[in-house]
Structure 1
């Protein structure tokens, strides 16, 4: 399956304190519960505790006082342990939902977006994933721009605007009649044009991210080729001796020169690809969305 067909991931404001960000990220279901107003269900352990005396009475009738006491104690202990475990879990759930409500403006869920906006956000996330997972990024060749900070912020800014655009799309569909009365088309057109302009701007922003990702991928490919060629370059003298010993004509000199030039040529190509990636990133981030 094409990964771009997958829904986008939750996007959380990278400017949040790290512990808050991690807690929100670890439980997207709690973000959804906070968004929809769903409350955790009450503990089932309370019901079992309530039934203990009735179970004890039944045991007394059937087996006598000693049996009733043993059975009631066992069931009571099980019920108490179950209630304590469920209560602790529900307390954690309530805390997470409370935190999600407190920071409701600091995350965007896939369901906050209509389908076109979901696809656009997913494309932005895929582009950033490709950049941050690249070899040249990890090796620091494109570290003139702090991608680990700048790119998550870029995705967050795009996600926020897509969420707002999706909400306004929905409002626009509710308010604007499918069939407009004659003569009123021009009155509604500026609102439609404003939404289209916002979409076009965000789509262009995502295409710039994708172009950056393509440049980084290209730099990665050249870098891997360069690494392999460097391994061969270490054995260049062996290849040169082989040619000198076996090719007894003018071609030998040309082959020897070519062997010495190849590593330098690939190195230049790699440097040019990294420079192009940096230039593309600079063009993208010269006008930040913030």
Structure 2
């Protein structure tokens, strides 16, 4: 397992566009967190003197070149055209030729990262134990939100879309805090603890262990919910396949009748309707169990 297995976790209160930007730029966010800063943007003042000269001088030199051509002075006309080209390049290469609103992605992400500091977590915010729990959390959330039964509205898709990201964020926030405290505690212990302090350390260690157990319980509740959804998903797909087979059944019956193979017809074919009914019941039961798990998760 590595940090690449865990996506950036963003507070659901952050605008969706910003959240997607953060999730797509984990490496840049890591660099920003490590102290990286983008180069200063160009001064938004008006264009440079070279750009201004080029803007005014180029049309004048072009007009002068036309005059020289009419007068038959090809050398002077060529010289004028050369000056026009140089002025054009001066304008294009001027540092102010770029509109002020053409900001680089790095500058925008840097400013967004500062503005929403504390409202997103990166894989490096979690120690190995927390990282494993975070991966389990995201796997459970993604499996539910990506399921067909959720997309078809067989689950409470609206509440899923709201509550599951909130659960993911809360778990990430707690795991990041737990990781930070655990790292500080381990550093303290690594320096050696006097016998007089050892007894005082024990309640702190129990607090860390109890907090981790509480987060694990949240993750396991998510996984139970995702498990029920997976059962419903399997029943959903199986039902679809049975319905497809039922639609083809008349063609099979026609073939059997025309070939005179009635006596050799497989009895199981006629049980497709029963199978479909059983799968329908399984699907309803699985969805009901998922709803029960969801209420437990919500409670």
Unaligned runs of 5+ in 2: 43-47, 50-78
Task: State which of 163, 167, 171 in structure 1 corresponds to 2:176.
Answer: 163
Q: Which residue of 2 aligns with 1:131?
A: 144
Task: State which of 239, 242, 246 in structure 1 corresponds to 2:262.
Answer: 246
Which deviates further from its counterpart, 94-103 or 193-202? 94-103
- Preserved contact between residue 3 and residue 123 of structure 2 (Cα < 8 Å): no
Matched, 1:176 2:203: no
Superposition map of 1:34-113 within 5 A: 34-42=32-40, 73=87, 76-80=90-94, 84-85=97-98, 93-113=106-126
Superposition map of 1:13-24 within 5 A: 13-24=11-22
- Preserved contact between residue 11 and residue 159 of structure 1 (Cα < 8 Å): yes
Superposition map of 1:255-266 within 5 A: 258-266=271-279
Q: Which residue of 1 aligns with 2:155?
A: 142
Alpha-carbon distance between aligned partners in 1 of 2:125 and 2:137, rounded to the nearest angstrom: 16
TM-score, normalised relative to structure 1: 0.74
- Preserved contact between residue 131 and residue 137 of structure 1 (Cα < 8 Å): yes
Give CA-to-partner distance per residue, 1:117-155, whole Å, 9 cap, x none: 122112211111111111111111112761111111110
Task: State which of 219, 235, 248 in structure 1 corresponds to 2:232.
Answer: 219
- Preserved contact between residue 121 and residue 158 of structure 1 (Cα < 8 Å): yes
- Preserved contact between residue 228 and residue 289 of structure 2 (Cα < 8 Å): yes
Task: State which of 151, 172, 184 in structure 1 corresponds to 2:164.
Answer: 151
Please report how far the alpha carbon of residue 99 of structure 1 lies from its aligned counterpart in structure 2 after TM superposition.
2.6
Which deviates further from its counterpart, 31-40 or 82-91? 82-91
- Preserved contact between residue 135 and residue 220 of structure 1 (Cα < 8 Å): yes
CA spacing shift, 1:71–1:240, aligned 2, 3 Å = closer
Alpha-carbon distance between aligned partners in 2 of 1:38 and 1:259, rounded to the nearest angstrom: 64
RMSD between superposed Cα atoms in Å = 3.7
Q: Count the aligned residue pairs.
A: 264
Which deviates further from its counterpart, 173-182 or 200-209? 173-182
